[in-house]
C-alpha cells in the first residue's frame, strides 16, 4: 500500500493537469475507480475488504501519515485553485471535496450489488458528483 502511493499519486496528478471542471473531476474519479479495479493490491482489498484492517495495522498510522501528503497535496491544491477560480463550489472545504470524490469508490467496492448495471451506475454517480461539486461555470 505504501509503496504504491507514489504511483497512485502520479496517476491522479495526470487527471489534475487539466483546467478544473466537472469533466476534470469526473476523470479524476474514473482514475480513482480504475486504480481500485486494476491495481492488484487495491483490487484485492476491494474484493476482500476484511483484509483492510490487518493491512492498516501492519502498515501503521505513522507510515500512512508520512506518505499521504505527497498524494493528497496536489489534489487539495488543484481543488483549492478550482474554488478560487469559481469553478468548484466554494462552500465545501477541499478536504471534504476529496471525501466526496472518494465516495465513487464505494460503488466500486459494492460492485456485486449492482449486477449488470454496475458500469452505468458508476458512470451516473461520477457524473452526478462532478456536476454537484462544480458551479455553472464548471461545465
Angle subtended at Cα 29 by Cα 88 and Cα 23, rounded to the nearest 5 degrees: 50
pTM of the model: 0.79
C-alpha cell at 34: 480504475
Q: What is the pLDDT of residue 29?
A: 93
Q: Which residues in the chain land under pLDDT 50?
A: none
Please name the residues in contact with 31: beta carbons below 8 A apart, sequence gap of 6 or more. 11, 12, 14, 15
Domain ranges of the chain: 5-138
Q: What is the pLDDT of residue 109?
A: 87
Note the helical H segments in 39-87: 40-47, 52-59, 61-84
In 3D space, the residue among 134, 52, 63, 70 whose CA is nearest the CA of residue 101 turns out to be: 134
Contact 72, 101 (CB under 8 A): no
Amino acid at each position: 500500500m505504501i509503496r504504491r502511493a507514489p504511483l497512485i499519486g502520479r496517476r491522479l496528478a495526470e487527471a489534475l493537469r487539466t483546467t478544473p471542471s466537472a469533466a476534470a473531476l469526473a476523470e479524476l474519479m474514473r482514475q480513482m475507480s480504475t486504480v481500485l479495479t486494476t491495481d492488484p493490491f487495491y483490487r484485492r482489498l476491494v474484493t476482500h475488504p476484511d483484509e483492510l484492517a490487518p493491512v492498516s495495522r501492519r502498515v501503521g498510522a505513522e507510515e500512512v501519515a508520512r506518505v499521504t501528503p505527497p498524494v493528497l497535496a496536489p489534489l487539495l491544491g488543484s481543488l483549492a485553485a478550482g474554488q478560487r477560480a469559481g469553478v468548484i463550489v466554494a462552500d465545501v472545504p477541499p478536504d471534504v471535496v476529496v471525501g466526496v470524490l472518494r465516495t465513487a469508490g464505494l460503488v466500486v467496492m459494492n460492485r456485486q450489488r449492482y449486477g449488470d448495471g454496475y458500469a452505468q451506475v458508476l458512470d451516473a454517480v461520477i457524473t452526478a458528483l462532478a456536476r454537484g461539486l462544480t458551479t455553472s461555470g464548471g461545465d
